[in-house]
A and B are shown apart, each in its own frame.
Chain A
Amino acid sequence: MKKNRGSSLEESSTNPGNITLRAPAKVIDSPLQLNDIFMRLKYLYFIFFLFSLFGANAQVSFNIIPPRDVVAGQQFRVVYRLSNAQGSSLNAPTVPGCTLRFGPSTSTSMSTQIINGQTSTSSSIDYSYVYIADKEGEYTIPTATINVDGKTLTADAKKFRVLPPDKTNPNDRSQVSATDRNSQTVDRPIGKDDIFVRVILNKSSAFENEAIECTLKLYTKYEAISSFNATSTPTYEGFLVEDVPVQAELNALENYNGQNYRTAVLRRYILYPQKTGSLTVTSGSYDIVVQQLERINQGYFYYTRPIEKQVRLSEYTAKVNVKPLPSPAPAGFDGAVGKFTISSQLSSTELKTNEAAILTYTIDGTGNIKFLKDPNPTLPTEFELYNPSHDVTAKVAGANMTGRMTSEFTFVPQYPGTFEIPSYDFVYFNPSTAAYETVKADGFTVNVAKGASSPSQNAGETPGLKANNTDIRHIHQGEKNLSKQHSYIIESPIYWITFAVLTLILITLAIILSHHNKKRADVDRMRVTKANKVARRHLRVAEKQISSNNTEAFYEALLKALWGYLGDKLNIPASELVRGNIAEKLTEYGASEGLISETLSLIDDCEMARYTPNAPELAPKQLYNKATDVINQLEAVK
């Protein structure tokens, strides 16, 4: 912990009473009190000399301290203060228009401060003149000079105001005066006009979002206030409020409605109306305890003691008429009201793909700077744009706020090339000219070189093409195959007739074919039925040949009978009639194994006898019988 020790030795007395309100240094204006000061000086001189040994390295100055709270007809004091020096031959011309009552009287004060072991000393000599002014108005204290160590110091002229005396109502004997503590007695009621809080707006009509200065001011005739509590807070419906910190202290006298009051600024706001129409600001209500004096008679002399009295201050309201901004608002207007300038900076005009760059817009000015929205510049779509970072530094200046808003847009170029960042038009409404004004932030031409590819692209995640705008497809040019009639094949009878014709063709084909098949089947059946007959005929021929002993003809007839019978019976064309497929066909026909082998051996025997010189095992008669038997058996198969 830092040691911070300060000791102060000062002539002026501290104000008794309250904590929140600090009264100014009390003006001592009675001769009796002045004498008192002189008595004290004797001690002070000693201390002054003691500390002057440390070397008065403090600044030498000579000033006029103008009087405060001057009311016509009452005495006041003009002080010429020489700091940190010994002076001589003061030349202070009298204040024109005022009557000098007394002076000069001299008082010396001195203070020593030891802060962290460092001692600093300051001293001052005050030369006081007591005047009286008869009329209200503004007076000037002329330039004064003083001689310090052979040099002449000059104090600049100062002005001060003399307020009119309270307008007295002859019928009202209970009137209290702010400047006369003796009038603030217990027997007088504390009236509505004696203490109140006012809401002061610096304009009675304003545009939407135009700054309005709002001051809550306490007016009181009772200087001694021992407590001050707000019972309800001020209301500001329809406003954005910017609180201005103020230190509440009792100020100089102020003449309001013909009466002199001490005033204190309780609160100060900058209001930005958000609605149009008549808007109301209220002061809130307060409980105040003031001190009145009670006179107590103690035989030969009086003395007074303070009595506390509670007063409730009623709410005070003020109205302001809020006008809408002129319509139509120009394009790009985004609620800025005041007076602004804009500038733009780009981190670099030589960029690389996938490397971030920063575009900064700076708006300076006075107005609703704290409530401005970020500009929305139109960057090329090839830039990936991030949300801007927003920063406002603003302070109250006069009846408005002045400051700077910066918006930082971070963007990453996605493709190489040369791109244009267009200039940005910032539109605001200037209430003093009642017109929209436009300021321009410069645009930039940016060259983007190919940089390192981003990790996401390395991972094979190539972004698809992104359409900036889509539109309808273009017209079809060239041949349009115009025709007056649009016919459909399906509507034409020929189409359906084709179906019918095709079906008919199929049916006709089927009929023809089936007819043909039937015929053929008949022929086959005939062949089968005739097979036996034909075979018998051949057999009979063969039989004849036995009797005539013509063996060759016999075998030929016998083979003819057998082959013919098989061909007819099994419905095999002559071309396919060979020994190889007889067995197969006979199996299909349903003949038994034995019969098939018997048939085959018979054919083999006949062919052997017919085509080779070898004589057959069996005699022709036996072969004939066997053939007859085979044919009979085959005939019996079905």
Chain B
Amino acid sequence: MKRIILSILSIISVLVAESSSIANQGDQAYNEGRFEEAIRLYQSSAQNEGTSSWLYYNLGNAYYRTDSIAKAILNYERALKLDPTNDNARVNLEFVNSRFNLSRPSESATTAFISRLTNSMHPNTWAITALIMFTLTLIAAACYFLLSKPLFRKIGFFSGLVLLPLTIASIALALNAHSRATSNNGAIVTIPSAQLSTVPSRPLTPSQQAFTVPEGYRLEIVDSIASTIDNGLIWYEVKVEDDSRAWVSSADVEII
């Protein structure tokens, strides 16, 4: 039995060592200025050993260094999707966005607050927080309902009064964080400038041209449809600023 455990441990350690060695080679290539090679190594690491927020972050940096703006933004977004608390990824994403004038119009204060709150913790941390909050609320309820001593009952009542909304909020935030982490709605424009059309096909007349969006711009996908004109090419209906909708070809964007 002991032997088996030992061998499993050794296999795991070998795996860990190997995985870190590919990614670390990427780090080394990056540090030495061989950014193309760093990209290749990070990608192979992602394929063989799995991904992480940090890996996407480093990959984004390497792409930025090779002037692949869209790819850099895409990977920063992926890094943030995996771990919204990755401050470095957020800072670099904002840096690249502002440098290439890709910053989106600022959202309303409430929305901004909610999204900041949601992104302040990892979805799993939110889930655990919600569970702890729920447990505390139950304890407070138990105090109120089950104990006969008035002091304990009072404590139970008022702490329950405070804890219940917090529990509901944290469950909502945990769900929100999870949906953000797993949604496939974000897409980054990967071509120098994408022509959005009003119909799910290439705009044929000027009246079908809706928006022109620059490389690296983030679009929110609402719906998708297989075009009957372009050999079954998938077209995404995207939200552009506020309530405007337009269609973009899946060839022009990459989903985060």
Seen from chain A, the residues whose Cβ lies within 8 Å of a Cβ on chain B are 470-486, 488-491, 495, 498-499, 502-503, 505-506, 509-510, 513
A-contact bits for B20-62, CB 8 A (1 contact / 0 none): 1001100100110000000000000100011110110110011
Which segment of B100-108, B128-136, B186-194, B229-237 sits at the interface?
B128-136
List the B side residues contacting A488 at CB < 8 Å: 123-124, 127, 178, 181-182
Are B23 and A482 in contact, CB atoms less than 8 angstroms apart?
Answer: yes
Seen from chain B, the residues whose Cβ lies within 8 Å of a Cβ on chain A are 19-20, 23-24, 27, 30-31, 45, 49-52, 54-55, 57-58, 61-62, 64, 82, 88, 91-92, 95-96, 123-124, 126-128, 131, 134-135, 138, 141-142, 145-146, 174-175, 178, 181-182
Are B61 and A482 in contact, CB atoms less than 8 angstroms apart?
Answer: no
Are A473 and B82 in contact, CB atoms less than 8 angstroms apart?
Answer: no
Q: Report the Cα distance A483→B51, complex, angstroms.
A: 5
List the A side residues contacting B131 at CB < 8 Å: 495, 498-499
Known contacts A480-B54, A498-B131; A506/B30 CB under 8 A:
no
Are A482 and B55 in contact, CB atoms less than 8 angstroms apart?
Answer: yes
Q: How many A-B residue pairs have CB under 8 A?
A: 93
List the A side residues contacting B62 at CB < 8 Å: 475
Nearest chain-A residue to B56 (Cβ)? A480
Nearest chain-A residue to B122 (Cβ)? A488
Mostly, the B contact residues are helix
List the A side residues contacting B58 at CB < 8 Å: 475-476, 480
Which 10 A-B pairs rank lowest in CB-CB distance, beginning with the nearest?
Answer: A484-B50, A480-B54, A475-B58, A489-B127, A476-B54, A482-B50, A472-B92, A490-B127, A483-B50, A490-B178
Which listed residue, B20, B64, B123, touches A472 by the CB 8 Å rule?
Answer: B64
List the B side residues contacting A495 at CB < 8 Å: 127, 131
Q: Report the Cα distance A498→B133, complex, angstroms.
A: 13
Are A482 and B45 in contact, CB atoms less than 8 angstroms apart?
Answer: yes
> What would be 24 A-B contacts, judged by CB atoms less than 8 Å apart?
A470-B95, A472-B61, A472-B64, A472-B95, A475-B27, A475-B30, A475-B31, A476-B58, A476-B88, A477-B27, A482-B23, A482-B49, A482-B55, A483-B52, A484-B49, A486-B51, A486-B181, A488-B127, A488-B178, A489-B124, A490-B127, A490-B174, A491-B178, A502-B138
Which listed residue, A471, A475, A502, touches B57 by the CB 8 Å rule?
Answer: A475
List the A side residues contacting B138 at CB < 8 Å: 502-503, 505-506
Are A480 and B52 in contact, CB atoms less than 8 angstroms apart?
Answer: yes
List the B side residues contacting A506 at CB < 8 Å: 138, 141-142
Q: Report the Cα distance A499→B55, complex, angstroms.
A: 34
List the A side residues contacting B88 at CB < 8 Å: 473, 476
Give the Cβ gap from A390 to chain B, nearest Cβ, in Å: 34
Q: Report the Cα distance A470→B49, complex, angstroms.
A: 33
Chain A CB within 10 Å, residue with most, of B30, B31, B146, B174: B146
Chain B CB within 10 Å, residue with most, of A476, A484, A499: A476
Nearest chain-A residue to B145 (Cβ)? A510
Known contacts A480-B55, A488-B127, A488-B182; A473/B135 CB under 8 A:
no
Q: Report the Cα distance A484→B52, complex, angstroms.
A: 8
Mostly, the A contact residues are loop
Are B54 and A502 in contact, CB atoms less than 8 angstroms apart?
Answer: no
Are B123 and A509 in contact, CB atoms less than 8 angstroms apart?
Answer: no
Nearest chain-A residue to B125 (Cβ)? A489
Q: Report the Cα distance A471→B27, complex, angstroms.
A: 18
Are A480 and B20 in contact, CB atoms less than 8 angstroms apart?
Answer: yes
List the A side residues contacting B64 at CB < 8 Å: 472
Nearest chain-B residue to A487 (Cβ)? B124
Q: Report the Cα distance A482→B59, complex, angstroms.
A: 13
Give the Cβ gap from B166 to chain A, nearest Cβ, in Å: 15
Q: Report the Cα distance A495→B88, complex, angstroms.
A: 31
Are B23 and A489 in contact, CB atoms less than 8 angstroms apart?
Answer: no
Inter-chain pairs besides A471-B95, A480-B58, A495-B127, 19 sampled, C-beta below 8 Å: A475-B27, A476-B54, A476-B57, A476-B88, A480-B52, A482-B45, A482-B52, A483-B50, A483-B52, A488-B178, A488-B182, A490-B124, A490-B174, A490-B175, A490-B178, A502-B135, A509-B146, A510-B142, A510-B145
List the A side residues contacting B51 at CB < 8 Å: 482-484, 486
Are A509 and B175 in contact, CB atoms less than 8 angstroms apart?
Answer: no
List the B side residues contacting A483 at CB < 8 Å: 50-52
Give the Cβ gap from A197 to chain B, nearest Cβ, in Å: 56
Nearest chain-A residue to B23 (Cβ)? A480
List the A side residues contacting B135 at CB < 8 Å: 502
Q: Report the Cα distance A474→B33, complex, angstroms.
A: 12
Q: Report the Cα distance A35→B58, complex, angstroms.
A: 110
Nearest chain-B residue to A475 (Cβ)? B58
Nearest chain-A residue to B88 (Cβ)? A473
Are B146 and A486 in contact, CB atoms less than 8 angstroms apart?
Answer: no
Are A472 and B54 in contact, CB atoms less than 8 angstroms apart?
Answer: no
Which listed residue, B19, B55, B146, B181, touches A510 by the CB 8 Å rule?
Answer: B146
Nearest chain-A residue to B131 (Cβ)? A498
Q: Report the Cα distance A477→B31, complex, angstroms.
A: 10
Q: Report the Cα distance A609→B13, complex, angstroms.
A: 89
Give the Cβ gap from A385 to chain B, nearest Cβ, in Å: 25
Give the Cβ gap from A507 to chain B, nearest Cβ, in Å: 10
List the B side residues contacting A481 at CB < 8 Å: 52, 54
List the B side residues contacting A473 at CB < 8 Å: 61, 88, 91-92
Nearest chain-B residue to A489 (Cβ)? B127
List the A side residues contacting B30 at CB < 8 Å: 475
Q: Report the Cα distance A496→B92, complex, angstroms.
A: 36
Q: Report the Cα distance A495→B54, complex, angstroms.
A: 27
Give the Cβ gap from A297 to chain B, nearest Cβ, in Å: 88
List the B side residues contacting A471 at CB < 8 Å: 95
Are B124 and A474 in contact, CB atoms less than 8 angstroms apart?
Answer: no
Q: Report the Cα distance A484→B54, complex, angstroms.
A: 14
Q: Report the Cα distance A448→B96, complex, angstroms.
A: 37
Give the Cβ gap from A522 to chain B, nearest Cβ, in Å: 16
Q: Report the Cα distance A93→B52, complex, angstroms.
A: 109
